């Protein structure tokens, strides 16, 4: 009887451990001009694309009127699809004129908690156009830090921003750590070597994430510049770009939502 009881206890313990390490689905998405330009139908289309994930981090939220309202409306639409969601929105970035944006992070509250509302990393505002937004999240009591970032355009030296951010996160932030965003640089470029040398890996490699204006044959994707980098104490189970376009005749409709595909990272905390 004792052996049987011990066996059952062991099985139950394994079940509990598995439940505590259930995979988390995180999406990073540059949603172009996310504000008043997005009507209810378009916001609902976005909600349908991300409804099954646990965390959505958004770049390019309009800094002025309409940006925060669009995030709130998206959260409300997600709340009507079977799960409870919450969100945070950053202050406007300390940026040159016409470059200022906000960041947003939206998450399911069932398994994910927060203890603060996040903050822009002001230490970087002199070396980047849009300083990143940082938020600590907790899953089953385990903390990980999420950094949301949108770099300068490819022809305005985003590499110098990536170097500055890489130095900061490696020297100043504790892991587990995820850096999500639109980097405007391909993951394979040497500018990411410092992150990689310090144990970070990319969710996707050579995955095109931007949309062309017109379909070239059957090809409507351009550059692999959106990604999610994660520290070595995070275990990746899947990473991919979510192609919600699928067919050339859907490209025009898709571009009304945004000109980027979302990137997905499915992971567990060690």
- DSSP H stretches of helix in the chain: 2-20, 40-50, 67-79, 158-172, 193-197, 251-255
**27, 47 in Cβ contact below 8 A?**
no
Instruction: Give the tokens for residue 217.
Output: 């044959």
Question: What number is the average pLDDT over the span 249-264?
Answer: 96
The distance of Cα 85 from the centroid of its chain, to the nearest Å, equals: 16
Say what the pLDDT of residue 183 is.
Answer: 98
Domain 24-269 classification at class level = alpha beta
- The position carrying tokens 């970087």 is 124
Instruction: Count CB atoms within 10 A of the CB of residue 222.
Output: 15
Give the residue from 222, 269, 216, 229 showing the smallest Cα distance to 243: 222
CA 29/CA 181 separation, integer angstroms: 7
Residue ranges of domains in the chain: 24-269
| Lowest model confidence (mean pLDDT) among 59-63, 78-82, 114-118, 216-220 | 216-220
Segment 217-256, tens digit of pLDDT: 889 999 999 999 999 999 999 999 999 999 999 999 999 9
Q: What is the pTM of this model?
A: 0.91
């Amino acid at each position: 009887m004792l052996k049987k009881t011990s066996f059952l206890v062991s099985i139950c313990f394994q079940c509990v451990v598995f439940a505590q390490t259930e995979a988390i689905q995180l999406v990073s998405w540059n949603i172009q001009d996310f504000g008043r330009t997005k009507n209810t139908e378009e916001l609902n289309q976005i909600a349908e694309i991300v409804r099954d994930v646990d965390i959505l981090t958004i770049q390019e939220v309009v800094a002025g009127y309409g940006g925060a309202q669009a995030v709130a409306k998206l959260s409300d639409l997600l709340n009507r699809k079977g799960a409870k969601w919450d969100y945070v929105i950053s202050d406007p970035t300390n940026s040159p004129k016409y470059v200022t944006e906000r960041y947003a992070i939206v998450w399911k509250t069932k398994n994910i908690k927060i203890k603060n509302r996040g903050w822009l990393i002001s230490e970087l505002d002199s070396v980047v156009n849009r300083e990143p937004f940082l938020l600590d999240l907790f899953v089953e009591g385990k903390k990980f830090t999420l950094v949301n970032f949108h770099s300068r355009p490819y022809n305005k030296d985003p590499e110098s921003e990536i170097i500055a951010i890489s130095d900061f996160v490696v020297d100043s932030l504790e892991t587990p750590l995820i850096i999500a965003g639109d980097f405007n640089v391909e993951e394979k470029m040497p500018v990411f070597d410092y992150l990689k040398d310090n144990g970070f890996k990319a969710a996707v490699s050579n995955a095109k994430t931007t949309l062309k204006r017109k379909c070239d044959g059957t090809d409507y994707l351009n550059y692999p510049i959106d990604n999610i980098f994660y520290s070595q104490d995070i275990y990746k189970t899947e990473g991919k770009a979510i192609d919600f376009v699928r067919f050339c005749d859907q490209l025009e409709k898709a571009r009304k939502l945004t000109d980027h595909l979302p990137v997905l990272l499915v992971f567990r905390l060690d």
